[in-house]
């Protein structure tokens, strides 16, 4: 993965309504293995309500679970996905000062199979109601500035992102009902 040294997402996940989706959040294990990791619902940290964190009993809370083997990756699992799981989430590390976070925007979708790739240049608009992945090469408190074009080609109700890249982030995803937005974090970002 090509991201900052604090938290990075580099995962291939598949989600279907009624099933589970897993999100792998990678981090610098030498620096952050002992820190609390969390998955919160909301865009800004000040209003981001923790859904699950690594201090949860057995790493489980309702339909959500989190595991951190302290090996440089923690995994968030959302079970029994519903259309109500849409919204902003953050994958983060608790640390003194500002937490390190990567924003993920989940939006319900019931479109056909979609294969998409974020261009390195020439951002393009998504088709209405199609799966979208936005990436911004710099931190912003505004919605993302890049959008990818989506071509629908299936009949089985799945949405898939094969590969996407931005200046700081490589993300491999396969999703059904989620629109995922990823922002690189401005603090301590260095390509790995």
pTM of the model: 0.51
pLDDT tens digits, one per residue of 53-63: 998 877 899 99
Residues 6 or more apart whose CB falls under 8 angstroms from that of 169 comprise 1, 2, 3, 8, 9, 135, 182, 184
Which two structure tokens, joined as six digits, stand for 127?
């088709």
pLDDT of 52 over the 50 cut:
yes
Which structure tokens are listed for 156? 């089985």
pLDDT tens for each residue of 103-144:
665 544 444 333 333 333 322 222 222 233 333 333 334 433
* pLDDT score for 134: 35
All domains of the chain, ordered by start, with CATH? 8-109 (2.60.40.10)
Query: 20 and 76 in contact (C-beta within 8 Å)?
Result: no
Q: 50 is written with which tokens?
A: 């923790």
């Amino acid at each position: 993965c090509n991201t900052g040294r604090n938290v990075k997402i580099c995962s291939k996940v598949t989600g279907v309504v009624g099933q589970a989706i897993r999100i792998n959040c990678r981090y610098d294990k030498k620096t952050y293995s002992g820190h609390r990791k969390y998955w919160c619902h909301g865009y800004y940290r000040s209003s981001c309500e923790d859904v699950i964190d690594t201090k949860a009993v057995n790493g489980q809370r309702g339909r959500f679970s989190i595991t951190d083997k302290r090996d440089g990756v923690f995994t968030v699992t959302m079970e029994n996905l519903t259309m109500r799981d849409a919204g902003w989430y953050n994958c983060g590390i608790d640390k003194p000062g500002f937490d390190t976070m990567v924003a993920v925007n989940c939006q319900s979708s019931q479109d056909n199979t979609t294969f998409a790739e974020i261009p390195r240049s020439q951002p393009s608009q998504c088709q209405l109601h199609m799966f979208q992945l936005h990436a911004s090469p710099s931190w912003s408190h505004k919605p993302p500035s890049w959008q990818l074009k989506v071509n629908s080609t299936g009949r089985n109700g799945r949405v898939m992102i094969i590969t996407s890249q931005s200046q700081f982030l490589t993300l491999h995803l396969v999703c059904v009902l989620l629109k995922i937005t990823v922002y690189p974090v401005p603090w301590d970002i260095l390509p790995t």
